[in-house]
A and B are shown apart, each in its own frame.
Chain A
Amino acid sequence: MRRAGIVALNTFREAVRDRVLYNLVFFALLMMAAAVVVGQISIGIEESVIVSLGLSAISVIGLLISVFIGVGLVSKEMEKRTLYALLAKPVRRWEFLLGKFGGLVLTLAVNTAAMAAGLFLVMLYVKHSLEQSDTVVLVAVYFIWLKLALIVALALLFSCYTTPLLALLFTAGLYIVGLYVQELRNLPAEVMSPAMAAFTKWLSYLLPNFENFNVMAMAAHGRAVPGTLILQNTLYAMVYCAIVLAGAAAVFSRKNLK
Chain B
Amino acid sequence: MPMTGFAIEIENLTKEYPFGFLHLKKKASLEGLNMQVEMGEVFGFIGPNGAGKSTTIKLLMGLIFPTAGTARILGKPISDVEMHKDIGYLPEQPYFYDYLTAAEVLDYFAKFHDLTAADRKERVQRMLKKVGLETARKIQLRKYSKGMLQRVGLAQAILHDPKLVILDEPMSGLDPVGRREVRDIILELKREGKTVMFSTHILSDAEMLCDRVGVIVGGKLRGVGAPGQLVDMKTQGMEILFELTGANNAPLLSKATKMGDRYRLQVAEDELYAAIEQLRDAGARIHSVTQVKATLEEFFMNLVEADRAQASAVEVSGK
Contact = CB atoms under 8 A, between A and B. Distances in A.
Contacts, number: 66
B153 interface: yes
Interface string B139-179: 00000000000000100100000000000000000000000
Interface stretch (A10-18, A118-126, A157-165, A189-197): A10-18
Contacts of A128: none
A13 B99 contact: yes
B95 A89 contact: no
Interface residues of A, number: 22
Contact of B61 (A17, A80, A88): A88
A198 interface: no
10 A-B pairs closest in CB distance: A88-B89, A84-B91, A89-B112, A17-B99, A256-B64, A90-B84, A257-B63, A6-B111, A90-B85, A88-B61
A85 B94 contact: yes
A90 B112 contact: yes
Interface of A: 3, 6, 10, 13-14, 17-18, 80-82, 84-92, 254, 256-257
Interface of B: 58, 61-65, 81-85, 87-91, 93-97, 99-100, 108-109, 111-113, 153, 156
A254 B65 contact: yes
19 contacts: A10-B108, A18-B99, A81-B91, A81-B93, A82-B95, A82-B97, A84-B63, A84-B94, A85-B90, A85-B91, A87-B63, A88-B84, A89-B84, A90-B112, A91-B112, A256-B63, A256-B64, A256-B65, A257-B64
B94 A14 contact: no
Given A10-B97, A85-B91, A89-B112, 12 more contacts: A81-B93, A84-B61, A85-B94, A85-B153, A87-B61, A88-B89, A89-B84, A89-B113, A90-B81, A90-B82, A92-B81, A254-B65
Given A10-B97, A13-B99, A85 B63 contact: no
B60 to A, nearest CB: 10
B84 to A, nearest CB: 4
